Amino acid sequence: MALLNFRSRDESSPAETPAELGAFLRGYSIEVMPRTAAKVDDFKAILPEGTRVYIAHIEGTPIDDMVQTAQRLARDGFEVMPHFPARIIKDAATLRDWIARYQGEAGITSALLLAGGLDAPQGEFADSMQLLQSGAFGDAGFTRLHVAGHPEGNKDIDPDGSMTNVEAALRWKQTFSESSDAEMALATQFCFEAEPVIAWADSLRAAGITLPIHIGVAGPAKLQTMIKFAIACGVGPSLRVLQRRARDVTKLLLPFEPTEFLTTLAMHKAANPDFNIENVHIFPLGGIKAATTWTAAHGAPVD
């Protein structure tokens, strides 16, 4: 994550959208929760066919709700990727039960593995590496496994503000991916400024970490909403800039869109085809329909 670089809705129009942005958005993924998914009458009306949909598993969400949401999305033809937050999984038996339910009841063979937002584990797992080491996903024949990436670090992992533990974890995940049959990638937290993201992605490749990157971006939302989620997600540098932007009361209520951020990445990708950011992952902070309306208006295919 990095600094705010969004445009308000009146500063950008779909007519200005370069072809590179539409190409970059092709194949984007989006994140939902069971309670937000329940508010959408028909996902097929707002998402391109076959879109990868992550289902966020927040502490306290019953596994029944998660599996039912996965069933619904899978029936509609979407590629479903539920979260497996290590710190809320009690034990290996629970992990294997969740995997079996997703697979048996919804035909799921993809997952996002992450530590989760808790300060301490509720059971025997503390991070995604322990989930991978369990062998449960390989035994079940999961074909796609994503893990978390942190472009600006993570204070929970590196309390001193460095990137030491984050980088060590990435090296471990890279090594694991080389022996795994599953297709693996990094899915990042939402980011706001392109140049630091480009530098981070290039630094991973230089270090021999070749896992494809699915870059997180906040969908159109009010500035107050951005600030709330930035605080909750520990987006430090971005939060400082969001707070400075909030001092302009004329823009405080305007929704902001990721147009400039993604256009810069798209132009860089077009000029550097081997750039290791391969997909866009949207956090619909301002709502799912607002996010999908924006993607359609800026060149993403609608079917």
pLDDT tens by residue, 143-198: 999 999 988 756 666 556 666 678 899 999 999 999 999 999 999 988 888 888 99
pLDDT at 235 over 60: no
In sequence order, the 6+-apart residues with CB closer than 8 A to the CB of 133 are none
- On whether residue 260 sits in a domain, the answer given is yes
Q: What is the pLDDT of residue 98?
A: 98
Domain count, the chain: 1
- Residues facing 110 on adjacent strands: 144
Question: Among the ranges 90-99, 144-153, 235-244, which has the highest mean pLDDT value?
Answer: 90-99
C-alpha of 285 from chain center: 12
> pLDDT category, 5, cuts 50, 70, 90?
very low
Q: CA 287 to CA 132: how far, in whole Å?
A: 32
- On whether residue 255 sits in a domain, the answer given is yes
pLDDT at 10 over 60: no
pLDDT at 255 over 80: no
- On whether residue 12 sits in a domain, the answer given is yes
**The CA-based dihedral angle spanning residues 29, 176, 199, 18, taken in that order and rounded to the nearest 10 degrees:** -30
Question: What single string gives the DSSP state of each residue in the chain?
Answer: ------EEGGG--GGG--HHHHHHHTT-EEEE-HHHHTT-S-GGGTS-TT-EEEE---TT--HHHHHHHHHHHHHTT-EEEEEEEGGG---HHHHHHHHHHHHHHH---EEEEE--S-SS-SSS--SHHHHHHT-HHHHTT--EEEEEE-TT--TTT-TTS-SHHHHHHHHHHHHHHHH-SSEEEEEEEEE--HHHHHHHHHHHHHTT----EEEEEEPSEEHHHHHHHHHHHT-HHHHHHHHHHHT-TTTTTSEEESHHHHHHHHHHHHH-TT-SEEEEEEE-TT-HHHHHHHHHHTT----
> pLDDT category, 11, cuts 50, 70, 90?
very low
pLDDT at 16 over 90: no
> pLDDT category, 9, cuts 50, 70, 90?
very low
- On whether residue 303 sits in a domain, the answer given is no
pLDDT, averaged across the chain = 86
The CATH number of residue 249's host domain is 3.20.20.220
Q: CA 117 to CA 103: how far, in whole Å?
A: 25
Q: What is the pLDDT of residue 13?
A: 44
pLDDT mean over 46-54: 96
pLDDT at 289 over 50: yes
What's the CA angle centered on 262, arms 260 and 264, to 5 degrees?
70
Which stretch of 8-12, 130-134, 143-147, 190-194 has the lowest confidence by average pLDDT?
8-12
From 38, 94, 37, select the one nearest 63 (Cα to Cα): 94
- On whether residue 2 sits in a domain, the answer given is no
Instruction: State the residue range of the domain holding 95.
Output: 7-297
Q: CA 83 to CA 58: how far, in whole Å?
A: 9
Count other Cβ atoms within 10 Å, centred on residue 84.
Answer: 23
C-alpha distance across the termini of the chain, in Å? 30
- On whether residue 1 sits in a domain, the answer given is no
**In which residue are the tokens 């009458």 written?**
41
Q: What is the pLDDT of residue 127?
A: 95
Strand order in the sheet with 7-8: 7-8, 255-257, 221-222
